[in-house]
Structure 1
Amino acid sequence: MSTLSAPLRAARVTVRGLLIGLLTAVFLAPFYLMLRNALMDSRGLTAPEWTWWPSTMHFDNFTALFQDPSVAMGPALGNSLLVAAVTAPLSTLLASATGYALARIPVRGRGVVLALVVATLMIPGSATFVPTFVVVGSMGGVNTLWGIVAPGLFNPFAVLLFRNFYLQFPSEIEDAGRLDGLGWLGLYRRIALPSSGAMLASLGALAFIDSWNAFLWPLVIGQDPSAWTAQIALSTFLTSQTINLPGLFAGAVVTITPLVVMFLVAQRYIVEGIASSGLKG
């Protein structure tokens, strides 16, 4: 029996390794194509024959990306970083506080507020786009970074996730906090919030990615080039008048790098958040 089980286990490990390798190759293929195209010139990109890697790597594509006088890629990256760095923590903290209030604080009208939060998920973004622009524009938010940030601070989906998380939070821990004289704000700040580290890290990472990749709203609000984000600046390399493929792919590599770094860092914080939450199982 043991002689038969050993080959089966070896075959299972081999198949699992091949499957993992295949899936890894599939997921890494877009990154390979992006980097390959960013290191080629226009002639190589439009050539009919396929090359796995450029014979001459054109690192000057990245230099030209930041030296192009028609596209301020450097300031645009700074705008995107500022918008994402502000939107991600603020929207996550607001969702956490709202979710805790809806889950724990017994106030009149809590069910109505929850119903309104759920209702916002049923309204398509196209229906609220113009009214949002009118409101933000009337407040002077056009061509400003706060005009890009403000509409993204409310995340009803994150509110519901935090509410469900705090509904499952052990009430005994809060009872111990009440014995120490903590009120609702103290319970949230000193007990509930630190215990939701995994939720904060994961939803904060998703909010950062969503804010960084936003295109339509920053395009409408940031009409002046000084308020462009990286995605808007990147779109200028591919228009009906001009096509700059090397600049487009070089810009794509540059703009995706912060997301890759952020995700790698967030993975560690997600694990630490689960380990330090004090919740088992």
Structure 2
Amino acid sequence: MTATTTPPPVTARAEEPPPRQVRRRTPAETLATSARYLALTIAAVLFLIPFYLIVRNALAADAEITAPGWTLFPSTIHWENFGELFSDPSVNLLTALGNSALVAVTQTAGMLLLCSMAGYGLARIPYRWATPIFYAVLVTLMIPPAVTFIPTFIVVSQLQWVDTYQGIIVPVLFSGFTTFLFRQYFLNFPSSLEEAARLDGLGWFGAFWRIVVPNSGAFFSAIAVITFITNWNQFLWPLIVGQDSSKWTVQVALSTFLTAQTINLHELFLAAAVSIAPLVLVFVVLQRYLVQGVAETGIKG
């Protein structure tokens, strides 16, 4: 009697996916792509030329900066320019950098606080004067800053805020344009999150701080970058209000290297490079929020 063996079960073979066909670009598409990259390269070079000039002249002597013959790099790198810059008795650059950091950070924080609350109120809180107030805010964008410059200085002078930090900071704490951006963003914010917060007993203020702000970090970061750069580069208002050298910001300090009596070119370029460094650092760290923040405002070109 012979033993019968059962054949092994037949397993279905998985069908192999068809080979992926790579689509070849047409000559017109290749030419268009090459032209696009060439244009971007040219734009990048043109954008970087001013930075190259600043760094090149910052490490050169005045004779090489004004020489008729141009060299790509200075013949001798003058690293001692750094010590000369920070030991210059006429300009305390470290104090100016500290003043700029204090003014820019304080103004940015205050503007984010005030403008975000104003934008949220105009976008979400229903009351009869919301539309007229919003139009009034828009009207402020059409008034040239030169028109309000003298009245603002008179108010600051009457408050005895000349040569003080509050005189430089407080008049710039509110911005109609920043309020407009916040309003546009909050109009597109999901209302279901706020409704859930109000069902839990939160009011408008509680919903704003505990729900809206924590979920709007990217947009707040984008506005913070733009506002910080703008406040750091202020010149005219800090020049008029901060008349004492101890209250000079870095932009005011830069202007002292170029006067009617003397022109200190290498220190001017080096001080410009030093003043740009914080802005470049902030932009590199937070630049990805800029595009995202503008997209979230709901503004369409």
* Same fold, judged at TM 0.5 (above): yes
User: Which amino acid is 2:104 matched to?
Assistant: A
Contact 1:143/1:224 (8 A) holds in 2: yes
Corresponding residue for residue 260 of structure 2: 240
Contact 1:197/1:270 (8 A) holds in 2: no
* Aligned match for 2:108, one of 88, 102, 108: 88
The answer on 1:32 being equivalent to 2:52 is yes
* Aligned match for 1:58, one of 63, 73, 78: 78
Corresponding residue for residue 221 of structure 2: 201
Contact 2:168/2:237 (8 A) holds in 1: yes
* Aligned match for 1:256, one of 268, 276, 281: 276
Distance 1:125 1:229, change over 3 A: same
User: CA RMSD, aligned part only?
Assistant: 2.0
Structure 2: distance between partners of 1:83 and 1:250: 22
Deviation at 1:4, TM superposition (A): 6.5
Distance 1:116 1:6, change over 3 A: closer
Range moving further from structure 2, 132-141 or 219-228? 132-141
Q: Which runs of 5+ in 1 are unaligned?
A: none
Deviation at 1:258, TM superposition (A): 0.5
Q: Residue 5 of structure 1 aligns to a residue in which SS?
A: coil
Contact 1:87/1:149 (8 A) holds in 2: yes
Identify the structure with the greater helix proportion: 1
Write out aligned runs for 1:137-176 (5 A): 137-176=157-196
Q: Residue 42 of structure 2 aligns to a residue in which SS?
A: helix
Q: Residue 137 of structure 1 aligns to a residue in which SS?
A: helix
Q: Residue 263 of structure 2 aligns to a residue in which SS?
A: coil
Structure 2: distance between partners of 1:91 and 1:126: 21
Contact 1:148/1:218 (8 A) holds in 2: yes
* Aligned match for 1:210, one of 230, 234, 237: 230
Cα shift readout 1:130-180 (whole Å, capped 9, x = no counterpart): 110111111121111111111110010010111111112222221111221
Write out aligned runs for 1:116-155 (5 A): 116-155=136-175
* Aligned match for 1:114, one of 111, 134, 143: 134
Structure 2: distance between partners of 1:71 and 1:61: 14
Contact 1:195/1:273 (8 A) holds in 2: no
Corresponding residue for residue 122 of structure 2: 102
User: Which amino acid is 1:80 matched to?
Assistant: S
User: Which amino acid is 1:100 matched to?
Assistant: Y
TM superposition score normalised by structure 1: 0.91
Q: Residue 52 of structure 1 aligns to a residue in which SS?
A: coil
The structure with the largest alpha-carbon Rg is 2
Provide the aligned length of Structure 1 versus Structure 2: 274
The answer on 1:182 being equivalent to 2:210 is no
Structure 1: distance between partners of 2:291 and 2:23: 39
Runs of 4+ in 1 over 4 A off after TM superposition: 6-10, 268-274
Corresponding residue for residue 245 of structure 2: 225
TM superposition score normalised by structure 2: 0.86
